[in-house]
């Protein structure tokens, strides 16, 4: 099982993004950190919403752009959805006390992690979403830990 394994997947529409989230959800366990990267409108919050639904959350899911973090307890997991888009400096990560969420007991889904770099913990998985000219999206999943690599092995299309 190699680290930094990559998987590139086309996402034809929002339903395909939701299907990817549903396939990833069973991999999650306390301590996971997932970085969500891509331009505005790439589908990062849509992915988080679909993942929460896959885990059984039935309530509202909102973007944490203004509140910085939205906590959820679902399927026995404490899941924290972060959005650092509005950070002016990386030090705001500590100023807001967000480092305390990364103690290994929850699952952290982080939008715009580069805005808090180098303070955000290294991800298990990075999901990069990129719009394509035809309106679809492309997902590049990069595993940086053995458990994320194992998850990508299960997600890879059979040949």
Q: What was the pLDDT predicted at 158? A: 62
**How many percent of the chain have pLDDT more than 70?**
95
Q: Sorting pLDDT into bands at 50, 70 and 90, what band is 50?
A: very high
Q: Sorting pLDDT into bands at 50, 70 and 90, what band is 67?
A: confident
Give the range among 43-47, 104-108, 139-143, 155-159 with minimum mean pLDDT.
155-159
Over residues 19-25, the mean pLDDT reads 93
The pair of three-digit structure tokens given for residue 111, joined into one six-digit string: 């939008």
Neighbours of 75 (CB within 10 A): 15
CATH architecture of the domain 28-87+95-121 equals: 3-Layer(aba) Sandwich (3.40)
Q: What was the pLDDT predicted at 142? A: 96
Domain ranges of the chain: 28-87+95-121
Dist. CA 12–CA 17, nearest whole Å: 8
Is the predicted pLDDT of residue 49 greater than 70, yes or no? yes
Predicted structure pTM score: 0.91
Q: Check residue 104 and report its DSSP letter.
A: S
Phi, psi of 68 (to 5 degrees): 75, -35
Nearest alpha carbon to residue 22 among 33, 14, 30, 31: 14
Dist. CA 159–CA 143, nearest whole Å: 20
Q: What was the pLDDT predicted at 59? A: 87
Average pLDDT, the chain: 89
Is the predicted pLDDT of residue 65 greater than 90, yes or no? no
Is the predicted pLDDT of residue 131 greater than 50, yes or no? yes
Q: Sorting pLDDT into bands at 50, 70 and 90, what band is 93?
A: confident
Q: What was the pLDDT predicted at 2? A: 44
Q: What was the pLDDT predicted at 3? A: 63
* Residues in the chain, overall count: 159
């Amino acid at each position: 099982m190699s680290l930094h394994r990559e998987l590139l997947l086309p996402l034809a529409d929002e339903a395909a993004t939701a299907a990817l989230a549903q396939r990833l959800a069973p991999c999650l366990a306390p301590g996971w950190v997932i970085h969500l990267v891509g331009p505005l409108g790439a589908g990062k919050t849509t992915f988080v919403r679909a993942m929460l639904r896959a885990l059984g959350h039935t309530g509202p899911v909102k973007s944490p752009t203004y509140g910085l973090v939205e906590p959820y307890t679902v399927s026995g997991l404490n899941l924290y959805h972060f959005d650092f888009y509005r950070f002016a400096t990386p030090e705001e990560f500590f100023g807001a006390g967000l480092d305390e969420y990364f103690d290994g007991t929850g699952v952290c889904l982080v939008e715009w992690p580069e805005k808090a770099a180098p303070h955000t913990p290294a991800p298990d998985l990075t999901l990069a979403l990129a719009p394509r000219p035809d309106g679809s999206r492309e997902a590049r999943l990069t595993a940086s830990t053995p458990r994320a690599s194992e998850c990508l092995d299960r997600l890879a299309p059979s040949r």
